[in-house]
């Protein structure tokens, strides 16, 4: 096999630079994996290195498996491709009995159990959300080589925003480390630390490892943290047969301790290094590549990508009035793409925080579009949401039907973490966002006249509909979880100030990392790219949101203002303001929007039809063993009786009636309306 065949000039330059040091600056979609695997195979076939003497290091087991598979296909099956942790643990486990004695320490998969115990020893009541963020702070401290006693000063210097006081993090960090050592346990950071220490303290170990591995390749070098760099330097032992590959414009994990400094300063550390740039983009159309280049036009490390694919459609920028309209608009556009032949597995919806997924889980369910959630639990499977539903269900059993819904829900959720002001970030922020989504839904349903029992029934209905078994479908994922992946069609949603950049990105460095997140999102798309934002949270709400500053100069002066039509050609414009059909006043209350008129405006309706609808609803509720309002609320029945729709389009034009309820109840309701119409005509 000729491993040089089919390479572009820059890729070939990488492959032929068989001796280090080599730095490959590879833009998104430029074939970096192809270049480094062909380089390794070429070095093996040329006899420059033995395959067992190569260690290719990357950051995920998926990426390591892909490297191994490609190397096997290229005739280099003996090459070791591992993550930093897997390579270090293998070495540590092998040498531990010889240089330390006894069995190697057990690896802890999670820091939480030890942190909970450390909390109790300090007589503190542990909150799991806070402790997850404390664990993240400990991980950051360990990878940046910060000791427990030095954490408060280091956190201030790094402008960290810990979930509790820095001094308390320091005490928990010390307590965690004490318990870990007492029980002869190691965590993922300690694996790297101990491997480097064993090599430093035992020359024979270092000599054996360095004799084994003479040729190093490190992928995604922009994500290396100080502890990983320490281990890499220890492996090298002063040698420079090292090839690093990365893209500083895809640095999106600096909050974990990752830094692009080692990549961008590689030539300073290794003055004899070859620096090669891969700029030919084979993934995306010229239209997508042009937008990506404009996103990072002001980046210090900007690399102008050059598209190699044929022309494609222009990116679409869409402004919606509110979040439900945005979710519905995306779902309908996805449906059209699928009808046009784009496979569901080749479509992705990407968001900034996981709490944004719920609206899309709901919209895709109602539109009949299968989906998969990547990198997070489905909304109703999240621990805080499950806990909230249990508490709300219990409260509903004894609640008075006349008690106002929204204040009661807020009171319950405040007991498990919903505060007036959100936490600054991390797992606590994710938990808060999920609880806030529930509180917002309660406010929306309260406007329709729902009580606590109706709210709980609605939550259970949504949970049941969204808990379908996983199937091949559209990917829903956060921007962070999407890194390294690609799809034919990508939807970047929720692009408003406060969401991207996220509200707690305060420093110029943090804001620029948010810009790089957008760049990562844009470069996931091969052909179709849709960018959207909503001006309000809920229908009729104040349209006070501003599109992300990152869209300045990118989106057209007049983006597409969505006029979302319901499935089956329904003509309801969910993104446009709704007006009273009697007096013309703009409707801002959900119940009035559903009725299509002001509450104070008189409206004729067929009393006999309304009574027939109520009788039908009672029978359906009894048969399906659900409360009557789960079938349709009183306001919805009133709206049906006033408008008397005789087609699916007419029924879908009533706010709150979606595809799911149309499929479930539409035929029966339309039969009642048609019967009422025929009686009137006679």
Binding residues: 26-33
Cβ–Cβ < 8 Å for 294, 554 = yes
Q: Per DSSP, what are the bridge partners of residue 307? A: 281
**Number of continuous H segments (helices) and E segments (strands) in the chain:** 28, 17
Q: Per DSSP, what are the bridge partners of residue 531? A: 317, 492
Cβ–Cβ < 8 Å for 195, 231 = yes
Whole-angstrom distance, CA of residue 352 vs CA of residue 162: 20
Whole-angstrom distance, CA of residue 36 vs CA of residue 71: 10
Q: 3-class DSSP state for residue 55?
A: strand
Residue matched to tokens 């009642």: 672
Nearest one of 341, 355, 359 to 384, comparing CA atoms: 355
Cβ–Cβ < 8 Å for 152, 170 = yes
N-terminal to C-terminal alpha carbon distance within the chain: 84
Q: Per DSSP, what are the bridge partners of residue 350? A: 477, 492
Binding-site residues for ATP, in ranges, read 26-33
Nearest one of 229, 167, 489 to 346, comparing CA atoms: 489
Sign of CA dihedral 57, 62, 67, 71: positive
Whole-angstrom distance, CA of residue 52 vs CA of residue 280: 32
Strand-strand pairing, 22-26 and 474-478 = unpaired
Residue matched to tokens 């969505």: 562
Residue 363 is encoded by which pair of tokens?
A: 């919209």
What's phi and psi for 109, nearest 5 deg? -80, -25
- Which of left, alpha, beta for 368 (phi over 0: left; psi -120 to 50: alpha)? left
Cβ–Cβ < 8 Å for 318, 532 = yes
Residue 273 is encoded by which pair of tokens?
A: 């290094």
Residue matched to tokens 């290094």: 273
Helices 61-73, 32-45: inter-axial angle, 10-degree rounding: 50
- H helix or E strand, kind and range, residue 56: strand 54-58
Whole-angstrom distance, CA of residue 448 vs CA of residue 88: 58
Q: Per DSSP, what are the bridge partners of residue 499? A: 502
């Amino acid at each position: 096999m000729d491993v040089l065949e089919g390479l572009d000039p820059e890729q070939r330059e990488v492959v032929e630079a068989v001796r280090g040091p080599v730095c490959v600056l590879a833009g998104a979609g430029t074939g970096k994996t192809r270049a480094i695997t062909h380089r390794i195979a070429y070095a093996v076939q040329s006899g420059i290195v033995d395959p067992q003497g190569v260690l290719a290091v990357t950051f995920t087991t998926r990426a390591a498996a892909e490297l191994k598979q490609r190397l096997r296909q290229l005739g280099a099956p003996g090459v070791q491709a591992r993550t930093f942790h897997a390579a270090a643990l293998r070495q540590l486990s092998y040498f531990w009995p010889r240089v330390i004695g006894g069995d190697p320490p057990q690896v802890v998969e999670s820091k939480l159990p030890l942190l909970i115990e450390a909390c109790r020893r300090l007589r503190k009541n542990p909150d799991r959300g806070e402790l997850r963020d404390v664990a993240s702070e400990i991980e950051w401290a360990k990878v940046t080589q910060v000791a427990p006693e030095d954490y408060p000063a280091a956190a201030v210097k790094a402008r960290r925003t810990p979930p509790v006081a820095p001094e308390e993090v320091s005490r928990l960090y010390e307590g965690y480390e004490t318990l870990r050592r007492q029980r002869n346990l190691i965590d993922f950071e300690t694996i790297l630390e101990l491997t480097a220490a064993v090599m430093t303290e035992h020359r024979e170990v270092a000599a054996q490892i360095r004799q084994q591995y003479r040729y190093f390749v490190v992928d995604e070098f922009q994500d290396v943290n100080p502890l990983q760099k320490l281990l890499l330097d220890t492996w090298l032992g002063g040698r420079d047969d090292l090839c690093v590959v990365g893209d500083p414009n895809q640095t999106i994990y600096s909050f974990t301790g990752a830094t692009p400094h080692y990549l961008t300063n590689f030539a300073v550390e290794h003055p004899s290094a070859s620096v090669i740039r891969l700029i030919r983009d084979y993934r995306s159309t010229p239209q997508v590549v042009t937008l990506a280049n404009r996103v990072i036009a002001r980046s210090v490390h900007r690399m102008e990508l050059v598209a190699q694919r044929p022309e494609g459609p222009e990116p679409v920028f869409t402004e919606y009035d509110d979040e439900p309209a945005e979710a519905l608009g995306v779902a309908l556009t996805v449906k059209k793409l699928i009808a046009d032949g784009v496979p569901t597995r080749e479509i992705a919806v990407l968001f900034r925080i996981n709490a944004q997924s719920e609206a899309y889980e709901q919209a895709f369910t109602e539109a009949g579009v299968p989906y998969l959630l990547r990198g997070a639990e489905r909304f109703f499977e999240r621990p805080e949401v499950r806990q909230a539903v249990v508490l709300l269900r219990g409260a509903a059993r004894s609640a008075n039907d006349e008690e106002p819904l929204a204040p009661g829900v807020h009171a319950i959720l405040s007991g498990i973490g919903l505060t007036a002001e959100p936490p600054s970030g991390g797992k606590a922020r994710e938990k808060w966002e999920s609880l806030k989504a529930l509180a917002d839904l309660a406010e929306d349903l309260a406007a329709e006249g729902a009580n606590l029992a109706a709210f709980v029934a609605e939550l259970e209905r949504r949970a049941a509909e969204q808990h379908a078994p996983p199937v091949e479908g559209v990917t829903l994922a956060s921007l962070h979880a999407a890194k390294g992946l690609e799809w034919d069609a990508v939807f970047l949603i929720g692009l408003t100030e406060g969401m991207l950049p996220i509200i707690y990105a305060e420093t110029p460095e943090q804001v620029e990392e948010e810009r790089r997140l957008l760049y990562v999102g844009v470069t996931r798309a091969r052909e179709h790219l849709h960018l959207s934002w909503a001006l309000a949270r809920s229908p009729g709400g104040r349209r006070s949101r501003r599109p992300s500053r990152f869209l300045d100069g990118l989106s057209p002066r007049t983006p597409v203002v969505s006029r979302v039509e319901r499935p089956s050609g329904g003509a309801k414009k969910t993104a446009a303001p709704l007006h009273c059909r009697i007096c013309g006043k703009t409707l801002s209350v959900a119940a009035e929007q559903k009725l299509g008129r002001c509450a104070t405006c008189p409206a004729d309706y067929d009393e006999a039809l309304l009574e027939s609808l109520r009788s039908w609803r009672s029978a359906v509720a009894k048969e399906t063993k659900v409360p009557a309002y789960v079938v349709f609320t009183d306001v919805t029945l009133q709206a049906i009786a006033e408008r008397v729709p005789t087609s699916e389009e007419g029924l879908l034009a009533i706010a709150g009636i979606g595809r799911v309820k149309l499929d479930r109840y539409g035929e029966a309701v339309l039969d009642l309306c048609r019967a009422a119409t025929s009686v009137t005509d006679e």
